[in-house]
Structure formats: C-alpha cells, structure tokens
Chain A
Amino acid sequence: MSQGSGFITERYIVNGDDFHAAGSASSAMKKLLRSIGVPPEAIRRAAICMYEGEINMVIHACGGEAEVSFDGEYITIHLADKGPGIENPQLALKEGYSTATDEIRELGFGAGMGLPNMKRNSDELEMESVLGEGTTIVMKIKV
C-alpha cells in the first residue's frame, strides 16, 4: 500500500477457486477506504462495483487481480483477468443476461445484474475484452 499526499493505491488478488468465500477483496477495499475517510455513500457504491467485479472474476474467469486507487476526487477500480473473455460486451451489460451455470445460480449468483450494477454505481465504466485472453474493466466512482 502506498499512501501520501491524498492518494492511495492498493492491489488485491482475487482467488478463483472458492466462490463461497468471494468478497474478501471487496471487504478489504471497504476497510481501506473507510480508514482514509472516504464518505460512506461513495464507499458503498465502490463496494458494490468491486463485489460484482470480484464475483465475475471468480465465477466466469477463474480469478484475477484488482487495483484500487483514490486520488482525492475519484475512486478508480481496475480489474483484470485472464479468463475466456466476453463475446458480446454490449449484450453482457444488459440486465438479466447471464451465462452462469445452475450450480452458480443455486448460490444466488447469475441473475445477470452484475455488470448493470457496476454501470449504475460507477460514474465511468470501460470494458475491454478479448476472447481467449481475458477481460479488463476500469470503473471510476466520483467522491
């Protein structure tokens, strides 16, 4: 963790083999943002974005990495995985679209609301996905 003159950056590894325990990177991020005094409303939106991104990396991409930074104005969440990629990103952003398996759905995931939640709770969302190579998502949350 680097901290100083109003900005902060932290990296998290998102483990791909345990979706029962998913959410640990999001909780750690929430604690960090709280500790540096980011307003609760912005933390809440960031936590929703990060959790959905984290869950997606776990259930669709065998895990990945997250980098979170705060520059005093924006919380930026950068997610990167080496999963299968998203065939049609525009379609994936639609409410209800999901390729999750029944096993995943039984756990309460796979409602196809993850990416829409990320879009709604961030002020900017950029997604880049290459089939067979992976997906990168950058979200900015204005504080």
Chain B
Amino acid sequence: MTVQDLIKSLDLTVLSGDEEALSRPVTGGYCGDLLSWVMGRAPQDGAWFTIMSNLNVAAVAALTDISCVVLTEGVSPDPALLERARKENLALLQSPEGAFLLAGKLYAMLHG
C-alpha cells in the first residue's frame, strides 16, 4: 500500500507532498501526540496519526522516516508546519475523523 492508496481509502485531504512523496509505501502506523513516544516507537514507513500541529511534527516525521503525517479531528497545521512540510516534501494529510477510526481502517487494510 502507498500513501496515495491510504488517501483514497480514508478520504484524506492532501496538504503537502508531491507525487514522489505520495508514492511512498505505508507498512504500519502509529497514533500519538507526545513527540518522544512517536520518536521512539513510530515504525519506518508508517502513517502517523496525530492532533499535534506545530513545526516539531515535521522534524519528528523526517527523522523517524515515517511515510506520512495524518492530522486528525480536522486539526489544521500551524503555518510554520505547512511551510516546512512543503519545503521538505513531506506527505502532510488531514481528516475530520479521529485517530481510532482512521488507524482502525488502516490496520484492517494491512492485516485484515
């Protein structure tokens, strides 16, 4: 599964990320808002579901090699995060739904 497949299946809005960013594989996921937990536990090529929307999200995303960030509950990124995500070509996505539902669907697609 790729980020693009995830976008289609979960009906996500793309805030940043070009074709290359959206073609990355998604092989797992992580839900969390405390950055050190995400840093320590998020798997490489995972989708990260969070309500955290500040600039530090871009740094954590890049350093952990996750494939996309999904802002849940309709949260909007801080302008600085959006700018950084565009600059670094990070797949930054958005959904009005909560992490439970989104991650549950992803889990079912990967392991169902």
Interface of A is mostly: helix
* Cβ–Cβ contact B56 & A108, under 8 A: yes
How many chain-B residues does the 8 Å CB contact rule pick out?
A: 20
Task: Assess A20 versus B56: contact at CB under 8 Å? Given A48-B39, A116-B40, A117-B39.
Answer: yes
Question: Please, which residues of chain B bring their CB within 8 A of the CB of A64?
Answer: none
B88 to chain A, nearest CB (A): 9
Task: Assess A27 versus B63: contact at CB under 8 Å? Given A44-B44, A107-B54, A113-B40.
Answer: yes
A16 to chain B, nearest CB (A): 16
How distant is the Cα of A44 from the Cα of B43 in the complex, in angstroms? 10
How many chain-A residues does the 8 Å CB contact rule pick out?
A: 27
Which residues of A approach B to under 8 Å, CB–CB? 19-24, 26-27, 30, 40, 44, 47-48, 51-52, 55, 107-109, 111-114, 116-117, 120-121
Which residues of B approach A to under 8 Å, CB–CB? 33-37, 39-40, 44, 52, 54-57, 59-60, 62-65, 80
